[in-house]
Chains A and B, each alone.
Chain A
Amino acid sequence: GIQVEQSPPDLILQEGANSTLRCNFSDSVNNLQWFHQNPWGQLINLFYIPSGTKQNGRLSATTVATERYSLLYISSSQTTDSGVYFCAVVAGTASKLTFGTGTRLQVTL
């Protein structure tokens, strides 16, 4: 099946810093989503982005489908951005999401 790799696995930032999280996938996809899991365990949709670029406030995402990667940008990070960020994809004719193992982000004061 499709492989989804995320980097870095862990990231520590000071409040106000910017960061880029990467998601590489091994096959063509028709669905790619970014999720944030907050420290209380809730999974929250950030973006549905199988291709192109989207922005939502301080967060933006870009997927280059032909090169099989997606990037999540966090600008001016805040402590509330802490948690784990997951990339998940649906490949080809599959009907289910395959998740990466996530990037754990800690934003400190």
Chain B
Amino acid sequence: DAGITQSPRHKVTETGTPVTLRCHQTENHRYMYWYRQDPGHGLRLIHYSYGVKDTDKGEVSDGYSVSRSKTEDFLLTLESATSSQTSVYFCATGPPGPDTQYFGPGTRLTVL
């Protein structure tokens, strides 16, 4: 939907290693979001961006950082991955308020 791609789509890594996930959009949406999805929790917001270099925390931001140097790219970094960060990560774009959000295909991350 809405020209959103995520990379990688699957990743297995070891505890303590840094990991960066990339979200790329072609719709020139101002807002971009990173969510994680875990059984029993639905989707929870990690961080979001409301413009280039403008970011804010969501409800589960500990252990994650983000960067947005271009409108089309939003990076999520796990500085030192832990097993509790094993999850499926979704990127989304679109404005808040009276409009819809569009989701990327997701990245399945496993931290051993």
In the bound complex, how far is the Cα of B100 from the Cα of A97, in angstroms? 10
Contact size class for A?
A: 20 to 34
The answer to whether A99 touches B105 (Cβ under 8 A) is: no
A31 in contact with B96 given A86-B42, A95-B48, A96-B48 (CB within 8 Å): yes
Q: Counting CB contacts under 8 A, is B45 at the interface? A: yes
Nearest chain A CB to B37's CB is how many angstroms away?
Answer: 8
Chain A residue contacts of B112, Cβ below 8 A: none
The answer to whether A90 touches B105 (Cβ under 8 A) is: no
Nearest chain B CB to A65's CB is how many angstroms away?
Answer: 13
Chain A residue contacts of B16, Cβ below 8 A: none
Task: Tell which of A44, A94, A97, A101 touches B41, judged by Cβ atoms closer than 8 Å.
Answer: A101
Q: Counting CB contacts under 8 A, is A57 at the interface? A: no
Task: Give A53-76 as 1s and 0s: 1 = Cβ < 8 Å from B's Cβ atoms.
Answer: 000000000000000000000000
Closest-by-CB residue of B relative to A96 is: B45
Q: Counting CB contacts under 8 A, is B29 at the interface? A: no
The answer to whether A100 touches B42 (Cβ under 8 A) is: yes
The answer to whether A42 touches B105 (Cβ under 8 A) is: yes
Interface residues of B (CB under 8 A from A): 1, 31, 33, 35, 40-45, 48, 50, 56, 58-59, 88, 90, 96-103, 105-106
Interface residues of A (CB under 8 A from B): 1, 30-31, 33, 35, 41-45, 48, 50, 86, 88, 90, 94-102
24 residue pairs of the A-B complex, CB under 8 angstroms, read A1-B59, A31-B97, A35-B103, A41-B88, A41-B106, A42-B103, A42-B105, A42-B106, A43-B103, A44-B103, A45-B101, A48-B99, A86-B43, A88-B101, A94-B96, A95-B50, A95-B96, A96-B58, A97-B33, A97-B101, A98-B45, A99-B44, A100-B42, A101-B41
